[in-house]
Amino acid sequence: MTSYTVLHQTPSVETYLDLRLRSGMDPKSHSAAVIGLPNSLFSVQILYHPQATEATAETTLEPPTTVGIGRIIGDGALFFQVVDIAVLPEHQGKGLGKRIMKDIESWIVENAPPTAEITLSADGRAKDLYAQYGFIETSTYDNVGMTRPYIPEI
């Protein structure tokens, strides 16, 4: 039997980097995470608590581990961006992504002004999850999302 709890706290740099990597997201640098994570407006972590069984009752249980995360970044009034929604593959399909989004949505409703713009980027089928929380596709023939990748100086 497994048990999960929700923690509204920014993950440690090590937890964040490890979870991104293990869940298939692009890696981020340690130095960038050290600067960026404390600037989160809101963070959610899903902790997994292994449960003792007869076979493991005499062994020491491992401490809880973070198996899912989500964050909100932005300026706190005009623009908010939902980022880093990730659940480890072995814990997917258990409603953890929905729980992360539920808590993010609650925070947005309580804290974002009515005129705020709330955005996110969805890949693959993740857009189906985000649609359940009111997010709609916005790309049209004359309006597309764009990104500028980091280009190191030569």
pLDDT confidence bin for 90, thresholds 50/70/90: very high
The SS3 of residue 132 is coil
Mean pLDDT for 33-61 is 84
Reported as a single tens digit per residue, the pLDDT across 97-106 is 999 999 999 9
For 109-141, write each residue's pLDDT tens digit: 999 999 999 999 888 788 889 999 998 888 777
Mean pLDDT within 23-28: 93
Is residue 64 within 8 A of residue 3, CB to CB? The reply is no
pLDDT at 75 over 90: yes
pLDDT of residue 5: 96
Residue 45 in contact with residue 11, Cβ under 8 Å? yes
- Say what the pTM is: 0.85
pLDDT averaged over every residue in the chain: 90
What is residue 140's DSSP assignment? Answer: B
- Give dist(CA 40, CA 42) in Å, integer: 5
Domain 2-131: homologous superfamily in CATH: Gcn5-related N-acetyltransferase (GNAT) (3.40.630.30)
Q: Check: CB of residue 84 under 8 Å from CB of residue 72.
A: no
Q: Where are the domains of the chain?
A: 2-131
How far is residue 77's CA from residue 79's CA, in Å, rounded to a whole number?
6
> Is the separation of the CB atoms in 46 and 66 below 8 Å?
yes
Contact 8, 44 (CB under 8 A): yes
One-letter amino acid at 5 equals: T
